[in-house]
Copies of this chain bind each other. A is one copy, B any other.
């Protein structure tokens, strides 16, 4: 096992904890004979090159989202990998969350009939630092991209995108990005998905979903840190704030995701979500950005 990070001390600490060795750079990792699989958590601009290098060296790859800085870059990566039997999985961890996975399997088994409308609410507890936002590629590539993938996970390919962005936090006004947005997606078969995002939420990490079909609906509610409720002279049934933040909310999802990656490396399941899933989500992110600036629906 090899750990590589520009922060050598951090790499050494992790390596020490798990009995791994430290590599000087990503090339070394990708070239190592005793490495079967590579997990890429580098900054987004490096993703495409790292994926290519690992795959070209015959390694299985799990790459963090987004898989590239732009749709064009992702498409270029697909082309570069054309002749290679690349085994690439993209880190859309929410597909592995027990609640979202249950919603998807319910839908697949016809539990809500024919799906017609999907509503995603996805809000972060608080905005990241300005520096992160400035380098994030914008709300759609950084944050909504998870929701784009969730919509594709449930509905398949999207045909058109409308989005409208908000600049709510004065402290972020000069970042020239949106810190909230509502996006409406349509599939070719006329299904509609609505995504409501915000960079802040006083109640915590607000992660909800509902899938409405001809025979019923399935909802994913927020996850709370414990099962206690309080009633007093002012309120009844009051529960705790939502789990905060993604490491807590999706702890089990990350664990299942890694196990799925290992299974894929062992040939027991496909590498899914795939590189193509990562590319498709980027395409939607760019379409949403375009729509939010023009006010028009963008056809994919």
Q: Residues of A with Cβ closer than 8 Å to B?
A: 98-99, 102-103, 106, 111-113, 116-117, 119, 121, 123, 160, 162, 164, 166-168, 180, 182, 184, 186, 190, 192, 194, 196, 198, 200-204, 212-242, 295-297
Rounded to whole angstroms, the CA-CA distance of A300 and B106 in the bound complex is 41
Rounded to whole angstroms, the CA-CA distance of A180 and B117 in the bound complex is 9
Given contacts A164-B184, A180-B117, A196-B119, is CB(A235)–CB(B227) below 8 Å?
no
Instruction: Write the chain B residue with the least CB distance to A192.
Output: B182
Instruction: Write the chain B residue with the least CB distance to A201.
Output: B212
Instruction: Write the chain B residue with the least CB distance to A160.
Output: B295
Q: What residues of B have a CB within 8 angstroms of the CB of A241 in the complex?
A: 231, 233-236
Rounded to whole angstroms, the CA-CA distance of A228 and B209 in the bound complex is 9
Q: What residues of B have a CB within 8 angstroms of the CB of A221 in the complex?
A: 227-229
- State which of B190, B201, B239 has its C-beta within 8 Å of the C-beta of A166: B190
Rounded to whole angstroms, the CA-CA distance of A296 and B213 in the bound complex is 27
- State which of B111, B168, B204 has its C-beta within 8 Å of the C-beta of A230: B111
Given contacts A164-B184, A296-B295, is CB(A196)–CB(B117) below 8 Å?
yes
Flag if B296 contacts A99 (CB, 8 Å).
no
Flag if B232 contacts A223 (CB, 8 Å).
no
Q: What residues of B have a CB within 8 angstroms of the CB of A111 in the complex?
A: 230, 232
Rounded to whole angstroms, the CA-CA distance of A66 and B223 in the bound complex is 34
Rounded to whole angstroms, the CA-CA distance of A247 and B224 in the bound complex is 20
Q: Chain B's nearest CB lies how many Å from the CB of A137?
A: 22
Flag if A220 contacts B228 (CB, 8 Å).
yes
Flag if B216 contacts A202 (CB, 8 Å).
yes
Flag if B212 contacts A198 (CB, 8 Å).
yes
Q: What residues of B have a CB within 8 angstroms of the CB of A227 in the complex?
A: 99, 220-223
Rounded to whole angstroms, the CA-CA distance of A166 and B185 in the bound complex is 12
Sampled A-B contacts (23; CB under 8 Å)? A98-B225, A98-B226, A102-B228, A111-B230, A116-B168, A116-B180, A117-B180, A162-B162, A164-B192, A167-B190, A200-B214, A202-B215, A202-B216, A202-B231, A203-B217, A203-B232, A215-B233, A219-B228, A221-B228, A222-B227, A234-B241, A295-B296, A296-B296
